[in-house]
Amino acid sequence: MDATFRRPVLSPAAVPDAPHLLVIRGVRAIDPTRALDATVDITIEGGTITRIGPGAAAQVAGSEHARVIDGAGLWAVPAFVDLHAHLREPGQEYKEEIASGLNAAAAGGYAHVCVMPNTKPVNDTRAVTELMLRRAEEHGGAQLHPIAAITMGQKGKDLTEMAELRDAGIVGVSDDGVCVMNSGVMRRALEYAKNFDIPVIQHAEDHDLTAGAEMHEGNVSARLGLRGWPRVAEDVIIARDILLTEYTRARYHAAHISTLGAVRIMREAKSRGIDATAEVTPHHLLLTDASVIGYDTACKVNPPLREPEDVEALRRALADGTIDAIATDHAPHSPLEKDCEFAEASPGMIGLELCFGLLLGLVGESGITLPRLLEALSSRPARIIGIEPPTLKEGARAELTLVDPGARYRVEEMKLRSKSHNTPFLKHEMTARIVMTLSRGKVIFDALGAGARS
């Protein structure tokens, strides 16, 4: 909280200002919100998309104020919106700062990032919300949207002042990292949040069922001798919360769902018209508990990596829309919290920079289409938090991401913008790269310009 605590971090000031006129020539533009998939020229003037269509590039030929990007082989898609990131400021800036986290977000194609309240102190007051917003504005990159705690200190007892917090700029409430265990408190939270049309975002974990747990409870945990976190600990909370949501007619969002049971409950709730949404992380879509066999603490995460049948259920639920959104659960930790025994390690992995490159390979699997993947990364999460979804439309503020879908490279520690490098994907071969991100009409990440680092 102390202003002297801040450390300088590379800011988007290092990225040259967007020229008044930017033209992306011959790019494949894909926007599921408009059923658009065509090769076009995109003209951006003063931060607004002024033209999408053929021939725009010819209009600016010869203009010295225009920057023209050759879009051949690239895709332009609506910029991404992350519902779930831990940026650790205030309080644990050695793991991540708002500036470094937003740099990582921009490099991952994100124009908007929602930040969880489990900072130190917890974001349960206007002062912390305002501090986060101020830091983000000073930085000037991707737009930060604070999520405040549901209960004071995330202790599960007294509700936060949601009226005041909403007024300060929050987009939702969550005690993420801990579950709201008390049904009476959860009911009141849903009723209170409903007044402000914000979602109550639950970290679904019955702590009585997960006491001392280190990984998913199953054959692998039995073999490794690690204490298990059973699926049912997630399922009982989501089932209870759905009943409370139906009763209160409020808005509920399930964070990082990981089990086939949670998928089944969400599917049934949606079929009955209950206002409940869900997100899934890239790691729960890609990894299983078998990754823990080498006791790699990078694979320790909460909720834990599950079994192949859970992964398949999550993929199918993403494909059919039962799972609305993909959220990174970007959870930076330093070597202090990770280079230790499995039991002692903190749960979490980073995700902002890697999410899209990791997930593009899922297109075609389990019915997941490219438009559905893009929608789950952008317009669906935007609608959940009530912001204007990024779109490729004439007259819209430019919020788009340029992707090189043919890029092949290995994730290397030194190239990550996040301050922390806790990911099991460090040597992974990626099959797509983000090359440019625009947020609120401004270029916030640029790997194409002169001097840009890759």
Total binding residues toward ligand DOR, as defined by CB under 6 A:
12
Residues listed for the chain: 454
| Cα 94 to Cα 202: distance, rounded to the nearest angstrom | 27
Q: What is the footprint of ligand DOR within residues 236-265 (CB under 6 A)?
A: none
329 catalytic per annotation: yes
Strands 252-254 and 200-202: parallel
Parallel, antiparallel, or unpaired for β 75-78 and 400-404? Answer: antiparallel
CA distance 432 to 409: 8
414 CB neighbour count, 10 Å cutoff? 5
Indicate left, alpha or beta for 441 from its phi (over 0: left) and psi (-120 to 50: alpha).
left
User: Min. distance of Cβ 409 from ligand DOR in angstroms?
Assistant: 26
Contact 213, 158 (CB under 8 A): no
Q: How far is the CB of 178 from ligand DOR (least distance, A)?
A: 8
348 scored as a contact of ligand DOR (CB under 6 A): yes
Q: Check residue 177 for interaction with ligand DOR (CB under 6 A).
A: yes
Of 104, 301, 327, 382, the one binding ligand DOR (CB under 6 A) is 301
Nearer to ligand DOR, 36 or 186 (CB): 186
221 contributes a contact to ligand DOR by CB under 6 A:
no
> What's the CA gap between 142 and 104, in Å, rounded?
9
Nearest distance from residue 205's CB to ligand DOR, in Å? 8
Q: How far is the C-alpha of 304 from the C-alpha of 301, rounded, in Å? A: 5
Q: How far is the CB of 210 from ligand DOR (least distance, A)?
A: 12
Alpha helices by DSSP H, 14-154: 56-60, 98-107, 126-139
Q: How far is the CB of 331 from ligand DOR (least distance, A)?
A: 4
Contact status: 118 vs ligand DOR (CB under 6 A) = yes
Among 302, 378, 418, 423, binds ligand DOR (CB under 6 A): 302
Torsion of CA 86, 87, 92, 94, to 10 degrees: 120
Q: Is the Cβ of residue 102 or residue 178 nearer to ligand DOR in the bound state?
A: 178
- Distance, CA of 218 to CA of 159 (rounded, Å): 36
Quick one: 202 or 245, whose CB is closer to ligand DOR? 202
Q: Which residue is nearest to ligand DOR (CB)?
A: 348
d(CA 398, CA 427): 33
**Residues 327-346: x where in contact with ligand DOR by CB under 6 A, - otherwise, as a string:** --x-x--------------x
Which parts of this chain interact with ligand DOR (CB under 6 A)? Answer: 86, 118, 176-177, 203, 301-302, 329, 331, 346-348
Catalytic residue set = 329
